Amino acid sequence: MSVGELDDRSRQVLQAVLFEYTVTAQPVGSRQVAKKYALGLSPATIRNAMADLEEMGYLTHPHTSAGRVPTDKAYRFYVDSLG
């Protein structure tokens, strides 16, 4: 899969989740992303983007009430986007 398969919003949300999960090693929630990162998106919009990213295989949802966790595909996206 190419880096170009994601729209700008999905790419921004995925990058925020990747960064936050790398720092905290905890599932990342939409409210957490909305508060900490200046994406200009509401928690509901971020939640919808996260659901789309989960469908595409970039994020996983360990528990119903937990946030999302990046998958190997998400880390591959990050590495590919570096160069």
Listed in sequence order, the DSSP H helices in the chain are: 8-24, 30-36, 43-55, 72-82
Contacts of 50 (CB under 8 A, 6+ apart): 13, 17, 30, 59, 68
Q: What local confidence, expressed as pLDDT, does residue 69 receive?
A: 96
Q: What local confidence, expressed as pLDDT, does residue 24 receive?
A: 95
Q: Which amino acid is at 26?
A: Q
The pTM of this model reads 0.89
Q: What is the C-alpha separation between 29 and 36, in angstroms, rounded?
A: 11
Mean pLDDT by 10 residues, the chain (83 residues): 73 96 95 93 95 95 86 93 82
Q: What local confidence, expressed as pLDDT, does residue 82 receive?
A: 85
Q: What local confidence, expressed as pLDDT, does residue 4 receive?
A: 57
Q: What local confidence, expressed as pLDDT, does residue 29 receive?
A: 95
CATH code, residues 3-82: 1.10.10.10
Q: What is the C-alpha separation between 76 and 71, in angstroms, rounded?
A: 9
Residue 75: burial class (beta carbons within 10 Å; 0-12, 13-18, 19+): middle
